[in-house]
Amino acid sequence: MFSKLHNEEIITLTAANGEDIDFKIIASVELMLGSYLIAQPVKLLDGMAKDEALVFQKKVKFGGVNYEIVMDDRTIDKVFDKYNKMLNRRY
């Protein structure tokens, strides 16, 4: 499994309401559960702190790739645990 710390790559994701939102990719994380991105909106969303980020799961559908926001706290915790281990190895 391959995980990677990113250097602020930007991707645009489309929200359910059709709004395009730019995100800085912080890291890609591979778990047995699947592939994930940790990302932060370029322009913070209402109620978001500067140190918050969102987790998205990579989904391959119809030959394309989609990213779906993860709402399950256990999965989010696993993704951030792996991310923190990545950071500790880096420094």
Question: What's the structural domain count of the chain?
Answer: 1
Quick: pLDDT tens for 30-54: 999 899 999 999 998 889 999 999 9
Residue 20's Cβ-side half-sphere holds a number of Cα atoms within 13 Å equal to 4
**What phi and psi, each to the nearest 5 degrees, are found at residue 62?**
50, 40
Query: The pTM is what?
Result: 0.85
Quick: pLDDT tens for 67-88: 999 999 999 999 999 999 988 8
Q: Any residues with CB less than 8 A from the CB of 9 and at least 6 apart, and which?
A: 24, 25
